[in-house]
Chain A
């Protein structure tokens, strides 16, 4: 157990708009290894939900199997959680979302859970544009089974076991862009300054939002020869832009230099202001995102930040033209056509 939190709550803890403290968003104590990147991500999720004043019980948190997928127990204790089976979080989340379109769905997965056993479901939940935040806690290895390479391990990178990975790595962000995901970002568990606003933007985005977070495995994959170690990521990380997420009610006070800033308005009126290092990068253009990812890959760098946003897409419910009221709240009267109609239907079978 990496940490034990005291039960005591200071009366002066800062509260959000709902009157909740950050503590109200916490979960059970983590049982992951001390220093695990995943715990930092859990903390960032807690911070993002706290800052956005999200009602904890209006969140459903789902996961697959693996170290990453244990984490939903460690945040948002007042939310319903579902630790499903290996690689099947996307389908279960799809069903849950179909039942109630009004909750915020946070799906947590790992690189094994997503890029290998769950690749099919990941691909299809993205192309259906399910309204959810899909977080990959990406450490390039299978932690729970003691450090085998995963499908996101870079070719040539070697874990503590010492044998370089011989296979090509899958870049989930690049795939997601190609699949038509409306929000794609990459974070690093060691950079909360960047990760918290990424998560906030992802939560505010309507539709499928992939947040791939490089999250070093301190036990099996944090050695000098690994490209998913804390040191390597810090040394090779470059961001598309620094950015601010301005929720709908907040007044914009900062002044941005013209030309280097791109603003994208989200569905609810929230605006993301990106302050870019490279002015040719266009966050709304799929080709631009893929090019930027490929350019950085060639240079041995890891591109982070918000990679792509497209707010014009319809989500699954829009596409299926489902009624406004959540399906799980429809009454029998609203669902059952009644015996008279049934007898009319049978006229077609005579």
Chain B
């Protein structure tokens, strides 16, 4: 058997029972790799459940800086009896299987192409830890200690992490450190020189941070001056608001400790968006965060905001649908539902962040964008981005930056108006009109917002021409939006032929890695990472320049491909769908294989079939 032998380049998977405290232990491991300066990408694959169901935590260690999922597992820590056989079978040949040897393995476990590492975790805990309540928790720390030895990690990084974590409760640090040592010592005694995978200190990370997308999004909202949030708890978006709450409690208090933010947990998603729209209408920057089922409910009010032209920011942390779907698994399957949310002719501005840095930037920009365009802006995050930790560079806030509040008339401007104020008068010809905030002026600027058809002065109308003009002006505004949404990131390869690849959001990292894999096999593709909707001319031109393009995304139906075809009029043959729909983050090997397969199919002579 050839053992997998690699330094700073492998995937380790922890298989646990959820609710057993494994998350913090596994996080301890990932953070240690990060603190050793090695690029690391942890993915928590967890059930929609509080206690007792299988959960996995995958950590990719990549000196080369690949942060997407690779596919396959080189080392498995299997401490969940329910999934033990499957975990065993999933291990790549040459890999390592660490299990709790307190119980003997059955006849199923007979692979000759892997290295079993049996450690009596339960026995050691029962023997060494007096308090039975602490045993299940500390069992997790025990295997982290063992893994640290097996991977030849600098042990002090782990102990320092524990010390830092329990700096306020040093008494709790002591048993944790002891368990780390117990695991480390057992492994060094029994499995010396067994594991050929290792983590070596590196200088690949400099000022990097390890952060989840939802926290970054919330920070973006804080920095861009959002003051009102309406929300309804839903996985995986809940932590956006929780983080916004935490940050505003720290950094948004007045002298008397009163809060410069109002966060309301609403009765449902309808009310959550209603609160954000009402606040925006009244001149505050406001937002809500939700996920698929919430988007379905919010359709009604998204249409209202679109037609009445009220800026509002909606964060959609997508999960696997349809219906309740898989609430704790990731997907990019709300693309179409968000692009055209609500009845009637509606279109919404979408932003596609690919990492926490962009979550922060795009969240901050989304308020400028919404107010400049006076329309909803939807930030299309997802569970993988929102809830997992990602290595990224720290964001910078330009202190000279001024919030762009859009066309809002203040009291003086109303006084100097030479004509009657018309809320929906397109005086600038860009489809965006001037609005006023309630309470601004005693005599001027009041208007009546309504979701029913309205004229340029916001008066009710059923005049067909007036209605038509209004709808056409909204199309004009859509053209203006194209000049404001973030442009795509295009990479052109010298040797690339007629092929291209298009992707967005969390498909990005795995897609770039897949492109390198393909490149090594002689398949060079130009790439375009979409960052916003509506699509600019650049997007059209990129597609025009190529004969065949692969659209890589995490949904069944190729929703972005449909959107590109629908908006830009491309023929279906030109855009080939590469999808990943099982609810886990997309991985590079899958993309690479899928594209190779499609290429073989397309290149095979069609035998004269018309």
Contacts of A83 in B (CB 8 A): 448-452
Is there contact, CB below 8 Å, between A57 and B230?
no
Q: Which of A80, A92, A120, A346 contacts B277 (CB 8 A)?
A: A92
Return chain A residues, CB-CB under 8 Å to B436: 80
Q: Is the CB of B271 within 8 A of A121?
A: yes
* Cβ contact within 8 Å between A99 and B397: no
Mask, B203-247, CB within 8 Å of A = 1, is 000001111000100010011110110100000000000000001
Contact of A323 among B251, B259, B397, B440 (CB under 8 A): B259
Asked if A88 is at the interface (CB within 8 A of a chain B CB), the reply is yes
Contact of B284 among A78, A81, A98, A336 (CB under 8 A): A98
Closest residue to A65 on the B side, CB-wise?
A: B451
CB-CB under 8 A from B208, the residues of chain A are 350
Q: Does B398 contact A (CB under 8 A)?
A: yes
Closest Cβ of chain A: how far from B254's Cβ, in Å? 4
CB–CB A60/B264 < 8 A: no
Say yes or no: B260 contacts A82, CB within 8 Å: no
Question: Are A99's CB and B282's CB within 8 A?
Answer: yes
A-side contacts of B283, CB under 8 Å = 99-100, 328
- Partner of A72 from B227, B441, B448 at Cβ < 8 Å: B448
Contacts of B281 in A (CB 8 A): 82, 92, 95-96, 99
Q: Which residues of B contact A123 (CB under 8 A)?
A: 267
B585 to chain A, nearest CB (A): 20
Q: From B223, which residue of chain A is reached at the shortest CB distance? A: A336
Answer whether residue A254 sits at the interface, using C-beta atoms and an 8 A cutoff. no
CB <8 Å contact, B267 and A99: no
Does residue B279 face the partner (Cβ distance < 8 Å to A)?
yes
Chain B residues with Cβ below 8 Å from A102 are: 439
Q: Are B210 and A349 in contact (CB under 8 A)?
A: yes
Q: Do A341 and B251 form a contact, CB below 8 Å, given A320-B263, A321-B259, A332-B225? A: yes
Q: Which residues of A contact B247 (CB under 8 A)?
A: 345
What are the interface flags for B389-424 relative to A under an 8 Å C-beta threshold, 1 for contact and 0 otherwise? 000001111110011000000000000000000000
Nearest-neighbor residue (CB-CB) of B278 within chain A: A95
A342 and B282 within 8 A (CB): no
A 60-104 to B, binary, CB cutoff 8 A, 1 in contact else 0 = 101000000000110001111111110010111111111110110
Do A332 and B449 form a contact, CB below 8 Å, given A94-B271, A95-B230, A317-B262?
no
Decide if B252 is an interface residue (CB 8 Å cutoff): yes
Within 8 A of B (CB), among A88-135: 88, 90-100, 102-103, 120-121, 123-124, 128
B132 within 8 Å of A (CB atoms): no
Number of interface residues of B (CB under 8 A): 72
A155 within 8 Å of B (CB atoms): no
| A336→B260 CA distance, assembly (Å) | 11
**Segment 33-83 of A: residues with Cβ below 8 Å from B:** 55-58, 60, 62, 72-73, 77-83
Check B266–A124 contact: CB distance below 8 A: yes
Closest B residue to A88 by CB, please name it.
Answer: B274
Interface assignment of A248: CB less than 8 Å from any CB of chain B: no
Residue pair B219, A345 in contact (C-beta under 8 Å): yes
Total A residues in contact with B, Cβ cutoff 8 Å:
61
Which among B211, B247, B284, B398 has the highest number of chain A CB atoms within 10 Å? B284
Asked if B266 contacts A91 (CB within 8 A), the reply is: yes
**In the complex, what residues of B have CB within 8 A of residue A16's CB?**
none
CA distance A95 to B267 in the complex (A): 13
**A327 surroundings in chain B (CB, below 8 A):** 227-228, 260-262, 279, 284
User: B276 — nearest CB in chain A belongs to which residue?
Assistant: A95
Contact of B449 among A80, A321, A334 (CB under 8 A): A80
CB distance from B479 to the nearest CB of A (A): 27
**B residues near A350, Cβ cutoff 8 Å:** 35, 208-210
Per-residue contact bits, chain B 268-309, to A (CB 8 Å; 1 contact, 0 not)? 101111111111111110100000000000001100100000
A328 touches which one: B35, B211, B257, B437 (CB < 8 A)? B437
> How close is A83's CB to chain B, nearest CB, in angstroms?
4
* Interface membership of B446, Cβ < 8 A: yes
User: Which of A85, A322, A332, A337 is close to B258, meaning CB atoms less than 8 Å apart?
Assistant: A322
User: In the bound complex, how far is the Cα of B275 from the Cα of A346, in angstroms?
Assistant: 31
A339 touches B263 (CB 8 A): no
Alpha-carbon distance A339/B400, docked complex (angstroms): 10
Q: Does A11 contact B (CB under 8 A)?
A: no
Q: How far is the CA of A102 from the CA of B284 in the complex (A)?
A: 14
Give the shortest distance, in Å, between A63 (CB) and chain B (any CB). Answer: 9
Contact A73 B448 (CB under 8 A): yes
Q: Once the chains are docked, how many angstroms separate the CA of A325 from the CA of B254? A: 10
CB distance from A329 to the nearest CB of B (A): 8
Contacts A328-B282, A328-B283, A337-B223; A95 near B274 (Cβ below 8 A) = yes
CA distance A73 to B447 in the complex (A): 10
Which residues of chain B come closer than 8 Å to A97, judged between CB atoms?
A: 278, 282
* Contact across chains for B270 and A96 when beta carbons are under 8 A apart: no
Closest to A329 in B: B283
Give the residues in chain B near A58, CB-CB below 8 Å.
439
Given A79-B438, A96-B438, A327-B227, are A120 and B267 neighbors across the interface (CB < 8 Å)?
yes
Contact between B439 and A91, CB atoms less than 8 A apart? no
Set of chain A residues within 8 Å of B273, measured between Cβ atoms: 91
Does B460 count as interface, using CB distance less than 8 angstroms?
A: yes
In angstroms, Cα B452 to Cα A82, docked, is 11
B442 on interface, CB distance cutoff 8 Å: yes
Q: Does A312 contact B (CB under 8 A)?
A: no
State A314–B268 Cα separation when bound (angstroms).
Answer: 23
A124 with B267: CB separation less than 8 A: yes
Find out whether the CB atom of B223 lies under 8 angstroms from the CB atom of A91: no
Q: Does B600 contact A (CB under 8 A)?
A: no
Question: What CA separation (Å) do A50 and B116 show in the bound complex?
Answer: 85
State how many angstroms separate the Cβ of A328 from the closest Cβ of chain B.
4
A-B contacts, 30 of them at CB < 8 A, read A57-B443, A79-B446, A80-B438, A80-B446, A81-B447, A88-B271, A92-B277, A95-B228, A95-B230, A95-B277, A95-B279, A95-B281, A98-B278, A99-B227, A99-B283, A100-B283, A100-B284, A120-B268, A120-B270, A317-B262, A320-B263, A322-B262, A323-B258, A324-B254, A324-B258, A328-B283, A338-B397, A338-B399, A339-B398, A349-B211
Binding site for B on A (CB under 8 A): 55-58, 60, 62, 72-73, 77-85, 88, 90-100, 102-103, 120-121, 123-124, 128, 316-317, 320-325, 327-328, 330, 332, 334-339, 341-343, 345-346, 349-350
Rank and list the top 5 A-B pairs by shortest CB-CB distance, nearest first: A95-B278, A91-B274, A99-B284, A80-B438, A99-B282
Given A95-B284, A327-B260, 8 other A-B residues pairs in contact with their CB atoms under 8 A: A73-B448, A95-B278, A96-B438, A98-B286, A99-B286, A128-B264, A323-B254, A332-B402
